[in-house]
Structure 1
Amino acid sequence: MQQGILNIERRTVTNSRTSKKLRNNGYVPASISSRGKESISVAVKADELRKGLSSYGRYALFKLEMKGEKPMIGMVKDIHYSPLSRNMLNVDIQQVSLSEEIRAELPIRIKGADVLEHNKLMALRQLDTISVKGLPQDIPDDVIVDVSNVKGVENINISDIEFPQGIVPDGSPEQIVLSIVETKRGKSSAEETEEASEEELI
């Protein structure tokens, strides 16, 4: 996995006033958490973070460089957005080790939905995310559920999904992820007009 680089600056004052000033200057307040250690309050350039996530993916690994400190490897765990402007308000970063497993909540991406539609079927999501664990460098951006070979009504469980090498689901194998159901074909306007004409003749 490719790693991005984020230049971060330590924050010594963490009140709302200084956080607002940081945002006005193009930075995002952030905190770095590490197992067994106190979290570190930092700031990162908003544009640099957005470009990094866009280039390397939502669960990308970043080399965190801070002046006077030893570089560390981190992953963005959560981003808090303004409900109105959708600007980033705060970012939670987790320091990781490339030799220790972590857990992640991955979104579900459906592959083959057009084939379902052709067969008059559709997929109803029963889960929004799937919890997985694996080494940080193996964590993908999402879990792909391939429905292109589904021929009829059925449930797709976690046990039916093929996960990337090194990634295992952290939940019950019998948990339903998608329900494949038949679509109800609505009447065309021509059919409705024909029925209306027949009713007028009765």
Structure 2
Amino acid sequence: MKQVILNAIKREKTGKEICKKLRKQGLIPAIVYGPHFQPLPIAVKSSELESALIKHKGETILFNLQLANGEPSKIQAILKDHQTHPVTDKIIHIDFLAIHEKETITIDVPLEFIGKPVGISKGGILEILLHELTIECLPSEVPDKITVDISNLDIGDVLHVKDIKVPKGIKVVDNPEETVATILTEAKEVEEEETSEKTTE
């Protein structure tokens, strides 16, 4: 899991008007919460957060929040949720989940698919239905991403959650039978089959 230092300030006041003022100053209102952690309203620099998300796109990030005011002065957290502006798509609010090194966390980790499925060379179409895997483990064991080799997938094959190998110490939370990826028959062939069936009826 990538570690990123993010400067933050404790928000003494909350509310819509305060949040608007913060955004005009290039700050994003946020809240930090978690087990054994009193919810703490903070604000982080928009430029720093966006830079980190772009640099580590597709990877899991552990944020080391450095508070310029208030206690505690340092908080380790992961980005749990965020809200975006409906028009600009800019992040306007963040939920951080404070973590403790010795306590397990539940987190979504990106899936990275490698290899060219054999079914594609036969005219099949790759359909990916799951791009993240929800896992439970200690913070130190959270991987940046989980690599999935799909080179052996043939037409009609289905890859399920239970087929994905994860590192030791990691528990998969998702339904084992949930479909991750499949190789579909080429669209044209499907249309021809449907037309043929209608003709014979």
Q: Give the TM-score range, shorter chain.
A: 0.7 to 0.9
Q: Return the index of the structure with the highest Cα Rg.
A: 1
Partner of 2:199: none
C-alpha contact (below 8 Å) 2:2/2:144 kept by paired residues: no
Q: Distance in 2 between matches of 1:2 and 1:128?
A: 19
Q: d(CA) in 1 for partners of 2:55 and 2:75?
A: 20
d(CA) in 1 for partners of 2:188, 2:104: 47
Q: 1:183 to 1:45 in 2, by over 3 A?
A: same
1:129 Cα deviation after fit? 3.6
State the SS of the aligned residue for 1:171.
coil
Instruction: Report the alpha carbon displacement of residue 156 of structure 1 after superposing the two structures with TM.
Output: 1.0
Residue 33 (structure 1) aligned with residue 33 (structure 2): yes
158, 161, 164: which one aligns with 2:161: 158
Of the three residues 85, 103, 108, the one matched with 1:82 is: 85
Could you tell me the percent identity over the aligned residues? 28
Provide, for residues 65-111 of structure 1, a one-character-per-residue CA deviation record: whole Å limited to 9, x for no partner.
Answer: 11343312111111211121011110111111122211112344432
Alignment correspondent of 2:103: 100
| C-alpha distance in 2 between matches for 1:112 and 1:2 | 25
**Could you say which residue in structure 2 is the equivalent of 1:137?**
140
What is the CA–CA distance in structure 1 between the aligned matches of 2:130 and 2:64, rounded to whole Å? 32
For structure 1, which runs of at least 5 residues remain unmatched after alignment? 187-202
Question: Displacement, 1:141?
Answer: 4.5
Residue 81 of structure 2 aligns to a residue in which SS?
Answer: strand
**Cα root mean square deviation, aligned:** 2.3
Counterpart CA distance in 2 for 1:156 and 1:96 is 32
Q: Is residue 120 of structure 1 aligned with residue 136 of structure 2?
A: no
Contact 1:59 1:76 in 2 (8 A): no
- Corresponding residue number in structure 2 for 1:47: 47
Match of 1:60 in 2: 61
Partner of 1:169: 172
In the alignment, structure 1 residue 181 sits paired with structure 2 residue 184: yes
How many residue pairs match? The answer is: 186
